[in-house]
Structure 1
């Protein structure tokens, strides 16, 4: 089978595209014929060796794929040959990646795909799962509370907005004014120009998520209500900060960091069910997509690393 793989970590130039054996299917796995894979920043970190994880060489790159089941293991009962499915937790922690014509996937990391555009689905999964787990499992948000999403026009920002609305939150967003109409259609209750100083906002929030890494952490801490929480999915640009410790702890505020590669299987499965509910209702499927062939896997990594994706989600067509 044709696959994109590496034989050692390093530059995107280390990615090779060639023939590898079709994987054997264990009793609790299925053999997936891959249609599309998404290319995410975490894929570049794993390939470069910046995200340390167990891998066996040749290592097939990538973590998120959608396709059709070709074969099932002896113990598989919940899936059938011909089912359209997706997965989003391969390609690290000892598991092979998915940028190949065929891949063996454990059934506990597999979800049936609703009848929606496959490219839109797999382009959405990484950002949507990040947003779902952050809100539901890390922050444990409650309905009718107020959330501020900074940099809401980006991939994760739009998913945070949509899922926040599904969870019953009142949402305020910051973005460029040109994105106001789009974010309003997605459910933002209040829109703020990101050029405005955050410290000048009068409202207080129960939850704040900065997707941009451009907002001073202390400014956000000052915008939190009693028991308020900051969900951190990127570090502030300076990577350093000072804050009023007494006011922080006497107001019972908290900062909770999250990266999806450390999500538990239980969290991933809960997110998968929630995402499928959104997909079935034509939600979370709003990304602009750049489609490239499998042979362009190295180019896709280069584009992400050099910021040449122009705000689009990169998807590789495999079959």
Structure 2
């Protein structure tokens, strides 16, 4: 099979595209013919050596996938050959990735693709959607009518946070960096959109919440100033952090505990299959009825996976601002 892989960490140029043996499903695994794969910042971190993690050699890159079950292992009970499926959690913790014509995955990491949902949408929504769901519902127990603030409303995770929060009746405030992205965030359902480059974020949040403050703050970028975050939180508010491996912001201990705040951190790939299944079930329903959609920012053929990594790295690490949404890869 054709695959995009690397044998040592480094710049995007370490990625090669060539032939590798087609994997065979073990007892609890399914073999999926990949129609669409997707990459994430995590893929760039792993390939670049910034997220030390065991990986096979050669290591196929890519976290997310959608496609059709080609074969199943002897112990598989959830899927049969011919079923449309999607999933994530590949390319991490020693598992092979998805930028290939085929991928083997344990059936617990795969989910049925809902009728009417395209493979591109399913793959593009995978990691970012599960991440957003975990933060909003598993960690902070978001409720209807609460105020949610998300930094980067048109990013992969941020766009999912907006839509999922609105799906349960919450009120959403987000930041963006351009007029074009302001319009996109509003299309996604954000109630208030703030241009962080030209507006006072704290003042706008105070105005939006009537001075009450934010109930859930979802931080999708490396935090740099927790003082400002804590200042605009509502009493007993919840803060989510899930980005910024090297971030070391000063922690405002006094105002944090006086307000009775909570701080939640998590990495999606460390969450259990059962925890992520809950996310996938909701996502399937929401995507089927059009309440949640993935933003696709760029499309690449398998042969240009290195260029896709470069685009991801430029925007994740260098903050180029040239990408809104997910990068998808077509193996065929």
The answer for the alignment partner of 1:269 in structure 2 is 277
The answer for the alignment partner of 1:192 in structure 2 is 194
3-state DSSP of counterpart to 2:86: strand
3-state DSSP of counterpart to 1:209: strand
- Within-5 A mapping of 1:76-95: 76-95=76-95
Matched, 1:125 2:126: yes
Cα displacement string for residues 204-262 of structure 1 (whole angstroms, at most 9, x for unaligned residues): 1111123344773211101112111111123499743252x233212211222222222
| Pairwise CA distance, 1:103 | 1.5
Retained in 1: the 8 A contact 2:12–2:306?
A: yes
Cα displacement string for residues 90-138 of structure 1 (whole angstroms, at most 9, x for unaligned residues): 1111211121111211111111112322112212222211111111111
More displaced stretch, 250-259 vs 76-85: 250-259
More displaced stretch, 247-256 vs 157-166: 247-256
3-state DSSP of counterpart to 2:31: strand
Query: How many Å separate the matches in 2 of 1:180 and 1:63?
Result: 29
Cα separation, partners in 2 of 1:74 and 1:15, compared to 1, 3 Å: same
Retained in 2: the 8 A contact 1:216–1:236?
A: no
Query: How many Å separate the matches in 2 of 1:155 and 1:61?
Result: 18
Retained in 2: the 8 A contact 1:148–1:172?
A: yes
Cα separation, partners in 2 of 1:270 and 1:112, compared to 1, 3 Å: same
Cα separation, partners in 2 of 1:13 and 1:120, compared to 1, 3 Å: same
Structure 2: gaps of 5 or more residues: none
Matched, 1:111 2:111: yes
Cα separation, partners in 2 of 1:223 and 1:161, compared to 1, 3 Å: same
Cα separation, partners in 2 of 1:63 and 1:50, compared to 1, 3 Å: same
The answer for the alignment partner of 1:259 in structure 2 is 267
Query: How many Å separate the matches in 1 of 2:56 and 2:294?
Result: 35
The answer for the alignment partner of 2:55 in structure 1 is 55
The CA RMSD measured in Å over matched residues stands at: 2.2
Query: How many Å separate the matches in 1 of 2:151 and 2:307?
Result: 30
Cα separation, partners in 2 of 1:192 and 1:11, compared to 1, 3 Å: closer
Cα separation, partners in 2 of 1:260 and 1:236, compared to 1, 3 Å: closer
| Pairwise CA distance, 1:32 | 0.7
- Within-5 A mapping of 1:139-288: 139-175=140-176, 176-194=178-196, 195-200=198-203, 201-202=205-206, 203=211, 204-213=213-222, 216-235=225-244, 239-243=248-252, 245-288=253-296
Cα separation, partners in 2 of 1:287 and 1:170, compared to 1, 3 Å: same
- Within-5 A mapping of 1:293-312: 293-307=301-315, 310-312=323-325
Cα separation, partners in 2 of 1:312 and 1:179, compared to 1, 3 Å: closer
Cα displacement string for residues 18-73 of structure 1 (whole angstroms, at most 9, x for unaligned residues): 11111121121111111110121111111122212222212111111111111111
Retained in 2: the 8 A contact 1:227–1:254?
A: yes
Retained in 2: the 8 A contact 1:38–1:313?
A: yes
3-state DSSP of counterpart to 2:56: coil
Query: How many Å separate the matches in 2 of 1:136 and 1:46?
Result: 27
Matched, 1:135 2:143: no
Cα separation, partners in 2 of 1:57 and 1:301, compared to 1, 3 Å: same
Query: How many Å separate the matches in 1 of 2:324 and 2:187?
Result: 19
| Pairwise CA distance, 1:312 | 4.8
TM-score by length of structure 1 reads: 0.91
More displaced stretch, 171-180 vs 100-109: 171-180
Cα separation, partners in 2 of 1:178 and 1:36, compared to 1, 3 Å: closer
Kindly tell me the number of residue pairs found equivalent between the two proteins: 318
Query: How many Å separate the matches in 2 of 1:252 and 1:164?
Result: 23
Query: How many Å separate the matches in 2 of 1:238 and 1:96?
Result: 28
